[in-house]
Amino acid sequence: MRAVTTRPTIRATGGLVASGHHLATIAGIESLREGGSAIDAAVAAAAVCAVVLPHRTSIGGDLFALVYDARTRRVTAYNGSGAAARRLDVGSFRAGFPVGGARTATVPGVVAAWGDLMEDGGRLGLERALRAAIHYAADGFLVSDVLADDIAAHSDALGADAGCVAVFRPRGRDLGAGEVVVQPDLAGSLREIARQGASAFYRGPLAERLAEGIARLGGDIDGDDLAAHATERREPLSVAYRGLRVFGQPPVSQGHVLLEELAIAAGWDFAAMPWGGADLVHEMVEIKKLAFADRDAYAGDPRAVPFSADDLLAPAFIEARRAALPDRASDRAAAGAMAAATPADTTYLAVVDGDGNAVSLIESVFTAFGAVAIVPGTGILLNSRLTGFSLDAGSPNALAPGKRPVHTLNAVMALDGATTTPRLVFGTPGRQAQVQTNFQLAVALIDHGQGVQEAIDQPRWYHEQGRELRMEARYPEDVRRALAERGHEVRVLPDWAEITGGAQAIVIEPGGALAGGADPRREGLAAGY
């Protein structure tokens, strides 16, 4: 019997885009129809997101992507995250991180990553990829209900920054749903990037204005920091799971957390456990706790600390972690011993083109409206990623000049283990929820064979710390009661809780059809042709 879902599953053969905003999805589809590759479509969609989802992403933010090249049958991981300013005074943060402001930003990596993606696999050029984004910045777009709610919720912070006032409170009040957002300065910056290339963001007149503007806002990032930035292209991490090879982002992304979860889960027959039942939820929550404990104990910027995610995925380590799973809810999981050695403001998109190329991409400003600071004369909204560091000097993720913080951002892709062709492309925003929701999606899609929209629609759980387990109200009462009997302190979330993310996913079905879905918890859209 076909599952009843909130939206129809979208099927296509020419290409499919699933993104966090309908205008971005349309831009991606238009790019594919003009002969663009999955990368052309992904960059076009991501650029529109950076204009129409300012509460989630910006050209002043970060980006991570996994890209499958159908010709070489290889997956490449792109790390478009930046470092803390090299002249940063760590001592000035002894009292804690400020709430917003240019000092909370790290070097933006989005634009460099767009340029590198286009250089490696684009067909139409960066100017074409940015066309729709420039249009929506210059001529405006209509405020959605979600954006209107976020503007109202952050009204005081937005009102404290002149650039944010000009964009989001242009008539002395918060913009509401259905009103037009116009960003002429951002359109100018995007035009400069389109004409001169991504390097214009990091060197030259735009970079100079950016550095000068950050200084006027009291930030630490300067021209040398911008000029030193570069995208990392790396081999992705991967694990075998139920006949698939699941790929994740290497550090500084926390993609290794999902892969550790799956590696531990591979020792259980999850398909034999009823979907949504207390036994399956308990095992998955406790696996999550182990993987997060290992992340917190070991993960940091590999350029600054001796951290190798491969150690967390080693068979002996995984076997020891599997043996550590408790029968009852644990209060605090301990990190594994190794041999020597809040709703998030992010957006995710997936693209597969007619040639079989695939992109799994996520970009972010970290918190709502990032630093809540628009650099004067540029329209560039800065990220707040510096606050992702730890102020504990003993942490591998401790704040330091020139170092990158550990990122919640991660994207997922799974290939058929025998044919090395893509089968799943998925991800979600949601900060700490990302690798939890991705874990739930993976088990629903792979172990339980659910359809793509069905898996996205399923009720979700979310764990942050201790024995408290938050569960969407659509979980049956008997399941919640059974989990409480096993020691979980169950807290009921709304039926569709945004804190659990806003997933997009594409499944390549056995016959070759592309099937896409988008999360009703946010405002995404899947479309194809």
CA distances from 125 to 7, 114, 197, 232 (A): 34, 11, 10, 21
Separation of first and last alpha carbons in the chain:
26
Is the distance from CB of 225 to CB of 86 less than 8 angstroms? yes
Amino acid at 407: H
- 475: Cβ contacts below 8 Å, ≥ 6 apart: 276, 459, 461
Number of H helices, E strands in the chain: 18, 21
Angle 39-41-43 from CA coordinates, rounded to 5°: 65
Q: Report residue 396 as tokens.
A: 């591998």
Please give the Cα distance from 16 to 351 (Å, whole number): 6
Look up residue 346 and give its two tokens.
């992010």
User: What is the longest distance spanned by two Cα atoms in the chain?
Assistant: 63
- Strands of the sheet with 412-416, listed across from one edge: 10-12, 514-518, 504-508, 422-427, 412-416, 244-248, 237-241
Q: Which residue of the set 5, 104, 106, 346 is catalytic?
A: 346
Instruction: Tell me if residue 64 falls in helix, strand or coil.
Output: strand
Distance CA 356, CA 299 (A): 34
State the SS3 of 229-292.
CCCEEECCEEEEECCEEEEECCCCECHHHHHHHHHHHCCCCHHHCCCCCHHHHHHHHHHHHHHH
Amino acid, single-letter form, for residue 414: A
Sign of CA dihedral 302, 304, 307, 308: positive
Tokens of 483: 């989990």
500 has catalytic annotation: no
DSSP string of 327-382, one letter each residue: SS--SSPPPPP-------EEEEEEEEETTS-EEEEEEEEESTTTTS-EETTTTEEB
**How many angstroms separate the Cα of 172 from the Cα of each of 156, 316, 512?**
12, 61, 53
> At residue 149, what are phi and psi to the nearest 5 degrees?
-65, -40
In whole angstroms, what is the distance from residue 28 CA to residue 244 CA? 28
Enzyme catalytic residues: 346
